[in-house]
Amino acid sequence: MIALDEIDRAILRAMVADADLSAGALGRRLGLSQPAAWRRLKRLRAASVIRAARLDLDAEKLGFGVTVFLGVKIGTKGQAALGDFERAVSAIPEVQTVEHVLGMYDYRLRVVARDLPDFERVLRRRIMTLPGVASLDANVLLSEERRPGPIG
Amino acid sequence: MIALDEIDRAILRAMVADADLSAGALGRRLGLSQPAAWRRLKRLRAASVIRAARLDLDAEKLGFGVTVFLGVKIGTKGQAALGDFERAVSAIPEVQTVEHVLGMYDYRLRVVARDLPDFERVLRRRIMTLPGVASLDANVLLSEERRPGPIG
DNA sequence: CTTGAAAGAAGACCGCG
DNA sequence: CGCGGTCTTCTTTCAAG
């Protein structure tokens, strides 16, 4: 755990809104010099409060027009079964996120495909052959809004 | 729609692996000059194939140790009901993503909270007061893996 | 592709509480 | 010592030749 003061939180708020902000511009906005702002950023990165900068690609423009969320229940819940499932699911390129979850499902997957026929192929040849899958629920993404989320 | 050649896809693959890659380093890796690589990046951004750079923060280090996925079913499904729900849900800071979805649920929400008591507060005072909610399913996040996803 | 000017990154060093 | 400020150097960006 690291101690974050109000300036750190202001930096995070500004950077979440615009990740390409330079250290100089950031400092100008907060009344800090460029090196001071840069040092704070470096410190936040070192403490991995800032994990990384990720590129947000438009899947549709890449030819992947279909996104489906799958809720997966695993049949035999041994430690080995979970490991087997995770290893196998990590080898499927169409799977964007694997969430290990507690509640109605055991795993939630975000899967992309070019279109519905392509999704059927992924489902039948990839997902349904995964080890230990007892049941599947599907939801097709219509639209999505991502919000900054709380900082402090 | 824009036409992407093999070089564009190589650029995207390299950039999703490391979003902080400079145009110069990118060009060196692919056998392009720095301005050539930079122009390609600019073109991909202008076509919004690359939407933006997003900062990946560690919610736990910010004091938000609990992430819950909610599956929401809306009772009265008129056009107005969906708009009302979306507007109201957008005002809750703890909601990180709102996915409008087709299938077993109508919406899927990603919600963060400091701990379980804090989550109960959000659930009772924010989520359960949303207009039109007929039923809720919850799944608590244990761990998560994000993968690059397919490019071409 | 090459050049070149402006901006940003990132280090060394000093001063303050 | 921790933190911010200035100065300095190297790299990167980005437009123009």
Which 45-104 residues of chain A touch chain B by CB within 8 A?
47-59, 61-64, 69, 71, 86, 90, 93-104
d(CA A86, CA A88): 5
Per CB-CB distance under 8 Å, the chain B contacts of A72 are none
**Which pLDDT does position A1 carry in this prediction?**
72
**Which pLDDT does position B81 carry in this prediction?**
87
Helix, strand, coil percentages, rounded to 5, for chain B = 40, 30, 30
**What CATH code is assigned to B66-140?**
3.30.70.920
Q: How confident is the model at residue B12 (pLDDT cuts 50, 70, 90)?
A: very high
**Which pLDDT does position A3 carry in this prediction?**
85
Nucleotide nearest to A33 (CA to C1'): D5
Q: What is the pLDDT of residues A104-135, one digit of tens each?
A: 999 999 999 999 999 999 999 999 999 999 99
Query: In what helix (H) or strand (E) does residue B51 lie, and over which residues does it extend?
Result: strand B50-57
Q: What is the mean pLDDT of residues B86-92?
A: 96
Query: In what helix (H) or strand (E) does residue A36 lie, and over which residues does it extend?
Result: helix A34-46
Residue nearest to nucleotide C3 (CA to C1'): B35
Nucleotide nearest to B24 (CA to C1'): D12
Q: Is B125 exposed, middle or buried (0-12, 13-18, 19+ CB in 10 A)?
A: exposed
Domain boundaries, chain B: 6-46, 66-140
Pairwise CB contact (< 8 Å): B61 & A53: no
Q: What is the DSSP string of A101-140?
A: EEES-SEEEEEEESSHHHHHHHIIIIITTSTTEEEEEEEE
Q: What is the pLDDT of residues A60-111, one digit of tens each?
A: 999 999 999 999 999 987 888 899 999 999 999 999 999 999 999 999 999 9
d(CA B94, CA B113): 7
Residues A54, B54: contact at Cβ < 8 Å?
yes
pLDDT at B2 over 80: no
Pairwise CB contact (< 8 Å): A54 & B16: yes
Tokens of B80: 């107005």
Q: Return the C-alpha torsion angle A14, A18, A24, A29, nearest 10.
A: -40
Q: What is the pLDDT of residues B24-51, one digit of tens each?
A: 999 999 999 999 999 999 999 999 999 9
Residue B110's closest CA among A101, A15, A9?
A101
Nearest to B104 among A64, A139, A142 (CB): A139
Q: Which residue shows structure tokens 């070019």?
A: A114
Q: What is the pLDDT of residues A2-52, one digit of tens each?
A: 789 999 999 999 999 999 999 999 999 999 999 999 999 999 999 999 999
Residue B19's closest CA among A20, A92, A90, A39?
A20
Which residue does chain A place closest to B45, by CA atoms?
A57
pLDDT at B152 over 80: no
Predicted TM-score (pTM) of the model is: 0.93
Tokens of B53: 């750079």
For residue B56, the one-letter residue type is D
* Number of Cβ within a 10 Å radius of residue A134: 11
d(CA B3, CA B74): 40
pLDDT at B138 over 80: yes
Where do the H-state alpha helices sit in A47-114? 79-89
Instruction: Please provide residue B22's backbone torsions phi and psi, each rounded to the nearest 5 degrees.
Output: -80, 160
Tokens of A55: 């590129």
Query: Nucleotides of chain D within 7 Å of a protein C-beta?
Result: 3-7, 11-16
**Whether A141 contacts chain B with CB within 8 A:** yes
Q: Name which of B101, B111, B123 to mutate to probe chain A: the one with the most chain A Cβ atoms within 10 A of its Cβ.
A: B101
CATH topology of domain A6-46: Arc Repressor Mutant, subunit A (1.10.10)
Domains A6-46 and A66-140 share a fold: no
Query: Chain A: nearest CA to B81, how far in angstroms?
Result: 16
